[in-house]
Amino acid sequence: MEKKPHFVRREFLPREVPSISLALLLAAVLLLNALLYLYLNKFYNSLGRVETDPSLCPFGHFKFGAVKNCSPWLSCEAINREVRKLKCVGEGAVKKVFLSEWKEKKVVLSQLTNSELKEDFLHGLKMLKALQSKYVVRLLGYCEQQFTILTEYHPLGSLRGLNETLHIPKYKGMNTWHRRLMLAIDYVSVIRYLHSSPLGTLVMCDSNDLDKVLSQYLLTSDFHVLVNDLDALPLVNRSAGRLVKCGHRELRGEFVAPEQRWPYGEDVPFEDDLMPPYDEKTDIWKIPDVSNFFLGHVEGSDIVRLHLFDIHAACKKKDPAERPSAQEVLDTYRKVLTLLIREAAMPGTREML
């Protein structure tokens, strides 16, 4: 009889210890999931680009930097009086771009260089005014009479210099698979915004090769992506039977979508009037190539590519109607990010359980 309590203790303790361990493990998993939720929520609110932006002002106004109050867009008179050109930092077919100064702040002044392309310039200005958001470079002022646009300055420049920027010692810590994937998410977010913009479905036509695409976007100092050049942004309106054509010349190469290429073979000379129009799914075709550039060749990027394989294969469907929408691509990218961050945060948890 005296041995019975001793026997009970030996029977009970081995069962109690695993139960406590399991309870502690489950608590740890729940805590990690809560932290992961907060972490991802922070990402989606900052890097993932929610629609609302507390730094945006009412239409016709702007603010940037540490300034709290909104100011009206600068007029012709204000630009001529208060903006000082410092140096030319770029020139394209439509405009020349100057690094400039306004009230001791660096800004960008763009001016038309070819009078034959003034309609493109004014279209870009119209788009810039109408599409102000987290996805578009901030407009500070303009002068239609002098074909001048003033925008916010971003010292890291266009996305063409991304890899060079990530090799600068200051930014080497940003050169990770998850930061690069966030940039790809930003890019797809811009495409999604253009496809469902306040003006309707807009197509990013200045995108005939990778280098041209990258030149249309800016990299901000806190590593976001902004669209900068909106000169070639035609509107698709299916209900009205309105499709688009990106320019009046023949497009070639695997980068542009199949429907953008001349469909009648080498034996038939290209004629713009015979070229069939197309819709916004041309932008979807290009997403895998642009994202491949974003992902680069850092540790973990091949795992990301593996998880994105199916959605990228869908983007490359020959039939535009079979390609996913930009929203579907964006949803998949975000799911992959969540999955991979969870796996990185809790390695081996499944085996432990």
pLDDT value for 46: 44
State pLDDT tens for residues 99-109: 999 999 999 99
Contact call for residues 107 and 152 (beta carbons, < 8 A) = yes
Global pTM value: 0.84
| 312 closest CA partner among 279, 338, 284, 336 | 284
pLDDT value for 24: 66
pLDDT value for 307: 98
Q: How far apart are CA 316 and CA 264, in angstroms?
A: 21
Query: Which structural domains are found in the chain, ordered by start?
Result: 71-153 (3.30.200.20), 154-346 (1.10.510.10)
Q: How far apart are CA 291 and CA 188, in angstroms?
A: 9
In the block, tokens 């990770």 appear at 176
pLDDT value for 26: 64
pLDDT value for 13: 47
State pLDDT tens for residues 38-82: 555 555 544 444 454 656 789 999 987 777 889 999 999 999 999
245 phi, psi to nearest 5 deg = -135, 130
CA atoms within 13 A on the CB side of 49: 24
| 232 closest CA partner among 324, 120, 107, 337 | 120
pLDDT value for 36: 59
- The ranges of the chain with pLDDT < 70 are 1-19, 21-55, 346-353
Give Cβ neighbours of residue 322 (< 8 Å, ≥ 6 apart): 314
pLDDT value for 178: 94
